[in-house]
Amino acid sequence: MKPHDKFERVAKALDNFRIEIPSWGFANTGTRFGKFLQVAAATSIEDKFADAAQVNLVTGASPTMGLHVEWDLPEGVASVPRIRALEKKYRIRAGSINPNLFQSQEYKFGSICNPDAEVRQKALLHFLDCVEIARQLGSQDISPWVSDGSNYPGTQNIRKRIGWMEEIFSQVHAALQPDQRLLIEYKPFEPAFYHTDIADWGMALELARLAGPQAKVLVDLGHHYQTQNIEQIVAWLLRLEMLGGFHLNDRRFADDDLTLGSIDPYQVFRIFHEILSDAAGASQVAFMIDQSHNLKGKIEAMVQTVAVAQELYAKAALVDIEQLDTLQTECKLVEAEECFRSAFWEDVRPLVREWRRGRSLPEDPLRALRESGYVERIAEERAAKNANISATYA
């Protein structure tokens, strides 16, 4: 492939590649054992918008920020005017709306699968509030993660819980606007360790199909068992026109939420290849980061993830799909694998830098962030607030 053709392929792919930033990725978060606080962490929803704007400024790829209703819109629909004002001020739009179905004390035994009908009703009303918030903000996707499950055999009726989920997802779907989507996420375990009510893509797929045509499946890269072939799942969902979006991260053991590509960049490349091989399907996929860092600087980690995602997406764009198809058809295994792998081994950084120059973006987003002094400035501004938070954990 000629250098000009390579650049054109990369430029076309990156021009259409948008990656949503999660608001919770900028705030102090922790492990089951406690929080490791950072002086530059966001302490308010305005801090989060400001940080997201900085990520978009240096990457040019993240004009939206996913919002978590419980944390970012504590007054529900009444918080919308505040969000709209921040959108205008920082030129960052609200992205996916994420319900909180796992934090309330009433959800100890489940939310939409709770045996108590009153608790299920509370979860449904929260869900419907999220749909209305999304409508008022012009957000397309409502992205629930349902943590419901059980820890011990015989303690819950699994079939009844399936029925309760079907009922609630159908009611939520009925409330959607024509341009809205319900993205159903799955996870094999944690916090439940015997059974999780939506444990894999097949369960999420069936629930989405039963809910209605505006329901799709959301794939979180960390929500799979070790060695699972995620790109095969992606291929199936694309084939069925049921792939709605991704939560991008990386993992070593389970749901580790590590920066994308830090453990297995080849896997991310393989997934991006499947998406780019289906032009119609790719246009419907929402890419969202789902990471929250305790050790890495939060803004630096976001910029790093977006930049790595752009590079891996560019590599996937360089796969010679026509030649690969011929080799696959002829069962030329070595040649086909080398055709595929050669794109992964391509050093796309010069092409990505050229693309950034042509769009008046910094050639090196991380360096631009460091040279801006933004992190140092907000660390100084937020130090006192984060010190007060630290005192509550002493």
Mind listing the pLDDT tens digit for each residue in 316-332? Answer: 999 999 999 999 999 99
**Which amino acid appears at position 323 of this protein?**
Q
Cβ atoms of residues 19 and 260 within 8 Å = no
CATH number for 12: 3.20.20.150
* Alpha-carbon span 24 to 47, nearest angstrom: 11
Report the 3 state secondary structure along 11-66.
HHHHHCCCEEEEHHHHECCEECCEECCCCCCECCHHHHHHHHHHHHHHHCCCCEEE
**Which amino acid appears at position 215 of this protein?**
A
* Domain that residue 267 falls in: 3-392
Which stretches does DSSP call E strand in the chain?
19-22, 30-31, 34-35, 64-68, 93-98, 141-142, 149-150, 181-185, 195-196, 215-220, 243-248, 286-289
* Alpha-carbon span 194 to 148, nearest angstrom: 11
Displacement of CA 230 from its chain's centroid (Å): 15
pTM for the structure as a whole:
0.95
How far are the Cα atoms of 105, 126, 222, 229, 294 from residue 264, in angstroms, in the given order?
37, 37, 12, 13, 20
Cβ atoms of residues 72 and 48 within 8 Å = yes
* Alpha-carbon span 371 to 300, nearest angstrom: 12
Q: How many domains does the chain contain in total?
A: 1
The candidate with the shortest Cα–Cα distance to 230, out of 215, 213, 214, 246, is: 246
Hey, CA dihedral for 179, 85, 248, 367, is it positive or negative? positive
Q: Residue 340: CB partners within 8 Å, gap ≥ 6? A: 273, 319, 324
pLDDT at 392: 45
Mean per-residue pLDDT over the chain, rounded: 95
pLDDT in tens, 55-90: 999 999 999 999 999 999 999 999 999 999 999 999
Q: Residue 5: CB partners within 8 Å, gap ≥ 6? A: none
pLDDT at 358: 97
**Which amino acid appears at position 19 of this protein?**
I
Q: Cα-atom radius of gyration of the chain, to the nearest Å?
A: 21
Least confident of 107-111, 194-198, 290-294, 353-357: 290-294
Tokens of 182: 């319900």
pLDDT at 29: 81
Give the angle 337-338-341 at the CA atoms, nearest 5°: 85
pLDDT in tens, 205-214: 999 999 999 9
Task: Using a pLDDT cut of 90, give the percent of the chain over it.
Answer: 90
pLDDT at 183: 98
pLDDT at 355: 98
pLDDT in tens, 3-26: 889 999 999 999 999 999 999 999
pLDDT in tens, 99-158: 999 999 999 999 999 999 999 999 999 999 999 999 999 999 999 999 999 999 999 999
Whether the per-residue pLDDT at 394 is higher than 60: the answer is: no
**Tokens 């240096």 appear where?**
58
Cβ atoms of residues 192 and 149 within 8 Å = yes
Kindly provide the b/e burial profile for residues 184-193, where b requires at least 16 CB atoms within 10 angstroms of the residue's own CB.
bbbbbeeebe
